[in-house]
Amino acid sequence: KAGVTQTPRYLIKTRGQQVTLSCSPISGHRSVSWYQQTPGQGLQFLFEYFSETQRNKGNFPGRFSGRQFSNSRSEMNVSTLELGDSALYLCASSFLGGGQDTQYFGPGTRLTVL
Amino acid sequence: SQQGEEDPQALSIQEGENATMNCSYKTSINNLQWYRQNSGRGLVHLILIRSNEREKHSGRLRVTLDTSKKSSSLLITASRAADTASYFCATAETSGSRLTFGEGTQLTVNP
């Protein structure tokens, strides 16, 4: 069974630009969660999508948005990038979602904002 | 703020020794999970322990959960250099619908 994949793996953008990250979950998983990891703030929950609906959202500004498609693939978008958005963005998929079962993480997308 | 707090923040041991990491949390939970992260990579799931369980084993890993003290511990026995990584606990609250991660313990196993 293929694992969770994320594209691209590395990204360099400048302030003010926008970016879209993609996540393909494990086949059969309907839940996709996104996390931001930085040295200062650690792992922070962004949002979770389940069957194309956003089920839960973390404490991030509206510049961070996402969506999920009918094949469970998910995208995350960050608009008007700021220097502080530089981070490792991780997505995770699971069958039940909501933290109720094991989450399987992708390798992450390393975003650098200059 | 982080739900889980790991202790210690960093641990350095010799190969063959045991490593113990602790996690404390604040609210009622449905389950607690431990993950490992090698430098800058994705997280790998280690063990999930539910609130009605007290202990679980997986290979060289042993996890305990004490819901009365709101704490958990991860024991790695006979450690290897390949165990060098960051270890995170994550809690799933009974009232919430997400995993909340602690700040992690950086384990270094010296050959």
B33-92: per-residue pLDDT in tens?
999 999 878 899 999 999 999 999 999 999 999 999 999 999 999 999 999 999 999 998
The C-alpha atoms of residue B54 and residue A2 are separated, in whole angstroms, by: 32
pLDDT score recorded for residue A90: 97
pLDDT score recorded for residue A59: 93
Cβ atoms of residues B87 and B21 within 8 Å:
yes
pLDDT score recorded for residue B40: 76
* Nearest-by-CA chain B residue for A90: B42
> Using the beta-carbon criterion (under 8 Å), do B93 and A99 form an inter-chain contact?
yes
Token readout for B72 is 């958990």
Mean pLDDT, to the nearest integer, of A79-91?
97
* Nearest-by-CA chain A residue for B47: A102
Check whether B16 has a pLDDT greater than 70. yes
Residue in A58, A92, A99 nearest the CB of B92: A99
Which tops the pLDDT comparison, B8 or A77? A77
CB pairs under 8 A between A and B: 67
- Residue whose structure tokens are 């700040």: B103
Residue in B43, B92, B98 nearest the CB of A105: B43
The C-alpha atoms of residue B93 and residue A112 are separated, in whole angstroms, by: 32
Check whether B2 has a pLDDT greater than 60. no
> Using the beta-carbon criterion (under 8 Å), do B40 and A55 form an inter-chain contact?
no
Check whether A58 has a pLDDT greater than 60. yes
- Average pLDDT over chain A, rounded to an integer: 95
Closest by alpha carbon to B62, among B52, B72, B71, B70? B72
pLDDT classification of B3: cutoffs 50, 70, 90: low
Strand boundaries in chain B, DSSP class E: 5-7, 10-14, 19-24, 29-37, 43-50, 55-58, 61-66, 71-76, 85-93, 99-101, 105-110
Residue partners of A65: CB distance under 8 A and separation at least 6 = A76, A77, A78, A79
Residue partners of A97: CB distance under 8 A and separation at least 6 = A30, A31, A33, A48, A50, A55, B97
Tell me the nearest-neighbour CA distance from B24 into chain A, angstroms.
16
Check whether B95 has a pLDDT greater than 80. no
pLDDT classification of B98: cutoffs 50, 70, 90: confident
Mean pLDDT, to the nearest integer, of A13-29?
97
Residue A54 in contact with partner chain B when CB distance is under 8 A = no
- Residue whose structure tokens are 């997280």: B43
pLDDT score recorded for residue A98: 85
Output the CA–CA distances (angstroms, integers) from residue B100 to A24, A45, A89, B14, B84, in the order listed. Answer: 22, 7, 15, 31, 23
Tell me the nearest-neighbour CA distance from A98 into chain B, angstroms.
4
pLDDT score recorded for residue B55: 98
